[in-house]
Structure 1
Amino acid sequence: MRRRTVVVGALGVFAAACTASRLPGGGSSPSTRAPVLAVKIDNVGAARPQTGIDEADLVYVEQVEAGLSRLMAVFGSRLPEVVGPVRSARETDLELLRQFDRPTLAYSGAQSALRPSIDAAPIRAVPPGTADGAYFRGSDKPAPHNLYLRPAKLGDPAAGVAAGTLAGFEFAERPPKGGRAETTHTARFPAARFTFDWSASQGRWLVSMDGRPATTASGKRLSAPTVVVQYVAVEPSRFHDRSGSTTPLSRTVGDGTALVLRDGRAHEATWRRPTPADGTAFSVPFAPGPVWVVLAKG
């Protein structure tokens, strides 16, 4: 059964907006669930700085081939005018997105062997060519790192509800008890690293990627009030990229441990997601606002 989400303070309006009728097994009726828009974001050096991901409710950090990283930005409460660079989908995305009940997934494409799984998944898939005027090539970066999306061209892909609430997260204004004081934390992939530095004046964790401050194309520093390092099983999938590197599959259904960073402290936590249709319940509540989730190998 999906854990009941309690949202305190600033996010209370979102909790009321996304109340859904429950189905047997803890799911929710798609007709009563608000949609979200998930966009796969390129994250190699040539793709940075990105555009629009500072407007996301959630940013997931995933491991991909050769130990590199890719982002998935999830929008629910607001949409940017432009977001990108957009890149291809992975098998990890399909399992992760089930908790949002038929979200829209924007991506640049996928290898042919994965397309039947995308077609069968309970998502609205919108690669280039499926929505007139939605995608365009920018002049700021070389291809393939210059594909951008205009979300408004997708026809109302998000409904003004916080994506974290729909994912089953619990938010609370009051900091939880315990934890340890920690003002910087680094999460590592084989060929990528993410550092989060606490800014007491901003009440947020400032994001750095591969040793450099992460900003948007407009110069805004990427940050979030809560960062979660979620330890998951990362195993080889049945897919490979063009160079023959195996595509990792991050398992987000089940249970495990996590590290929740909020209010300048680090809290050891657990997570639980019994079925793909369930949200992810963490034992420590998050600070209201955007959340970054790093899917790290447990």
Structure 2
Amino acid sequence: MKEKTVLLFPGQGSQYVNMHLKLSIKSKEFIAKILDELNLSNILDLMSVSEESLLPTNVSQVAIISTSLGYLKDINDEGFRFEASAGHSLGEYGALVAAGVLSFKDAVRAVSVRGDLMGKCAARRGGSMVALLGFDKEMVEVLCKEASRFGVCVVANENSNQQIVVSGENKAIDWVLENYKDFKVKKAIKLKVEGAFHSPLMDDAAKEFRKFLVSLEFKDFKLPVYKNIDGMIYENTKYIPDILSKQIVSPVKWVDTIKNIIRDGYESCVEVGPKNILTTMLKRWTNLKCSALDGE
């Protein structure tokens, strides 16, 4: 009996120079055509320049989803079978395409608008993010509460049982970097991001993004998609604009997502996108059989 397989799509931070070069010629041409039709051909050029050129969120998000969708087209063309999908943060757009809910073009269009709005919001409101490694979750909550004396400070990504990301205003994040050891956290790494993503500082972007999302066509689900704001399966398409806009200001519940995937009987997962960040994390804390299409 075939193992139940779920596709996993990575989020921001998985980008690297020339990440699209491992795609088939057919998929490269397919993605190039979509980017050209959306007046985003410059993104394809920036993919081959430097790591710095991929740092702006309006660039990195489009580059990542385009590459991920190129890989998805490749496995679809090969007839690869899968039973569900999920995505980490912006990776959810790839998961929705895999389930037949969003078209490839609308997914890239949506991520482009998302990246622009988040980038503008970050430029206006500032903020930063820090990854915490080796921690007690309750102590991280206390750490955020203490740091909140200096500005917004919230949990942004629950990535694994050993990695959590905190997001907030610069003074609060600086305080976290100075004091994390007092809260039983082993290591803290400031992330190279433009702003405080998945925090209340992105509220303006979330509101504007919802206005855009209601203009898109969402088709019925062909297979289950786990949403990362709570780790649960989408029930229908009705509330997708609310969910995807809320995602921008809400923590990524990746641990809950994976636990639910395991609970539902999925035994293997395939990472569809640049790098193998999700695969590497999952091998450290689950027994899922994980592989990445990009062996980077």
Higher helix share: 2
TM-score, length basis structure 2: 0.29
Higher strand share: 1
TM-score, length basis structure 1: 0.29
